[in-house]
Structure 1
Amino acid sequence: MTVTDFDFICQILRQRSGLVLGNDKAYLLESRLLPVARKYKLASFEDLVRLIRVKSDEAVIKDVVEAMTTNESFFFRDTKPFDQFKQIVLPTLMAARPNKQIRIWSAAASSGQECYSLAMILSEMAAQLSGWKIEILGTDLSTEILDRAREGIYSQFEAQRGLPINLLVKYFTQVGDRWQINQKIRSMVQYKEFNLLNDPRSLGKFDVVFCRNVLIYFDQPTKAKILNNIAGLMPNDGYLFLGGAETVLGITDKFQLLAGQRGVYGLTTGQAAPATKPAAPGALRA
């Protein structure tokens, strides 16, 4: 791989997805794009680059971007954010929403595990949520990964990764050597193709936004743009969840860390919920 070819693909990735790759990621670029080259009956990465340079085919470029976006996800990832959602965020919003409506956005939803984790929490709380309308929207720039999310079919490894056995038994059906989440849970989530670099106002307003383990792939200006866009979609008492390695410090002044919590943010112009004792470990498994 030449430096010129590497820089050319990196420029496309940055423009189309915001993904920033360092020079040490050349091996990753080549390994992920070789299957794309084979799809178009090309012999090498260099041939793929040449095709894009000559034809600038949008279908090929889209496949390249989708191949390079990370789709790592698993059920109840890191556990604590879901405890915080169940024990702090949801009760606070329920007390503040006389219209009994809440909207949740899972940005970069990947293959759906985050969305379905939230849906299972809501299903487990059906008695408390009687009469409520709670919408979950999952978005991703990859149409292929969203098709997987809609199917809700996971390998044995994916189904067991982070998922309590009681929820696997309750909400999944075994299909051959894989597991499919049931229609009731799937129907609680809507999926839509969306690129975080674009204007999100068409998606509507959200009380809760999960944008976890996404910002780490972007440069500072792109992080600021995305966070500021999210802030514009939220009411004053809305909540933002970021990944454990992510922060708003030095990026935007639109958000502040929720008092006594980690990874959960409210708008700086809003009323932050009081610190609440986190759920005991394993609370989601009860």
Structure 2
Amino acid sequence: MITADVYFSELCDNLRAWCGVTLSPSKTYLVQNRLRGLMSELDTTELGELLRLSKASGGGYIRDRIVDALTTHETLFFRDRQPFEALTKHIIPEIQTQAKGGRKRLRLWSAACSTGQEPYSIAMSLIESVANLSTWDISIVATDVSPNSVEKARTGIFQDHELRRGISDSQQRRFFKRVGDGWQINDEVKRLVRFEIGNLLSGRQPDGLFDIIFCRNVVIYFSGDDPLRTFEMLSNRLSENGRLFVGCSEVLTGMGHILDRDRIGSATCYKRLPIASTAQTSTAQTSRAQTSRAQTSRAQTSTL
């Protein structure tokens, strides 16, 4: 049985360390419901035993199952359409202008992609709006901490109720085919997206820099300094002038030395400052800190 005791506290600490998600003591009933199936499979009714198994040799599978059970997988196609419109109506034309007839390149990262609706929405947006897309060098990397979610995303199979949340009839006809009792996204879309298991709070992230990063409705489940750590990591993965899109209720603070809030159409995002500007800001901050320490030191000496 799961109760608000030392084992529940230990589970909360472990979950935050594993994926950043914070649980409050009021979530005891939710945890009990979500872990019931896993605990039944392992033939245990004790949370302490489940935690012991997760730490034992080979316990990575159990840790993954716990994370999968206790994290939120809520997602839908074209969730909050403004970022997709900003991408296709403003950012893509900007890249075309900058390319000046050369090969056009776009690197996107959908972080915490859940079961794939967001990165597939990005791919469909590009196919629908970009002429001669085959002449572009495009890469969409999508990551999630849940192996089960990543595996489902890779199959690209969705049920009727999932398509009803964001997919128009014309998009369904163009991009999906009937497979059994579900709908599978077609190869035109799938080949644009690569799915990987990734953790925003560890070193398990895709390589390289990105022109666009979507990380939406994720850090609202984090606490302490984890949101700032996450945004700092994401900022450092942006190319110069790259954009970071976050959730509507997520606001970045303490990031003005790296990111500038940017309004594109009806969407709000954060733009990576030029490297030289970032370096100058960092140097100025360091200089101010050193001056402050020197003044404090002189004042202390004078007092003595």
What CA deviation, in whole Å up to 9, does each residue of 1:66-119 have, x standing for no partner?
211211111000112111111122222232244411100000111110011111
Q: CA, structure 1 residues 253+24, in 2 after alignment: closer, same or farther (shift >3 Å)?
A: farther
**Structure 2 unaligned residues grouped into runs of 5+:** 277-304
Matches within 5 A, 1:165-204: 165-199=169-203, 203-204=207-208
Give the deviation of 1:8 after TM superposition. 0.8
Find the residue that maps to 1:237 and give its secondary structure.
strand
User: Does residue 129 of structure 2 align to residue 125 of structure 1?
Assistant: yes
Alpha-carbon separation, structure 1, partners of 2:43 and 2:163: 34
Could you say if the C-alpha distance between residues 162 and 236 of structure 1 is closer, same or farther in structure 2, counting changes exceeding 3 Å? Answer: same
C-alpha contact 2:176 2:184 (8 A) present in aligned 1: yes
In the TM superposition, what is the alpha-carbon distance from 1:176 to its structure 2 partner?
2.6
Spell out, residue by residue over 1:184-215, the C-alpha distance to the aligned partner (whole angstroms, 9 max, x if none).
21111001111001236752110000001111
Q: 1:158 Cα shift? A: 0.5
Which residue in the other structure is 1:12 paired with?
14
Task: Give, in whole Å, the separation in 2 of the partners of 1:152 and 1:253.
Answer: 39
Count of paired positions = 271
Change beyond 3 A, Cα 1:63–1:200: closer
Alignment of 1:1-286 (within 5 A): 1-43=3-45, 45=47, 47-49=49-51, 51-52=53-54, 57-97=59-99, 98-199=102-203, 203-250=207-254, 253-259=257-263, 261-269=266-274
Unaligned runs of 5+ in 1: 272-286
CA–CA distance in structure 1, aligned partners of residues 122 and 11 of structure 2: 36
CA distances 1:22-77 after superposition (whole Å, capped 9, x unpaired)? 22211221111112112223245465345447778332222112211211111000
CA distance in 1, matches of 2:179, 2:159: 10
Q: 1:164 to 1:2 in 2, by over 3 A?
A: same
- Distance in 2 between the 1:88 and 1:270 partners? 23
Structure 1, 152-161 or 62-71: larger mean CA deviation: 62-71
SS of the counterpart of 1:238?
Answer: strand
Deviates more, 1:37-46 or 1:213-222: 37-46
CA positional deviation for 1:19: 0.7
CA contact (8 A) 2:241 2:273 kept: no
Q: Deviations over 1:229-269 (max 9, x none)?
A: 11112122111100111011246642221146543110244
Q: Indicate if the aligned counterparts of 1:227 and 1:252 stay in contact, CA closer than 8 A.
A: no
TM-score by length of 1: 0.87
- Write the letter of the residue equivalent to 2:270: Y
Stretch moving more, 252-261 or 5-14: 252-261
One-letter amino acid of the counterpart of residue 143, structure 2 = T
Query: Secondary structure, in 3 states, of the residue corresponding to 2:238?
Result: coil
Higher helix share: 2
CA distance in 2, matches of 1:113, 1:206: 20
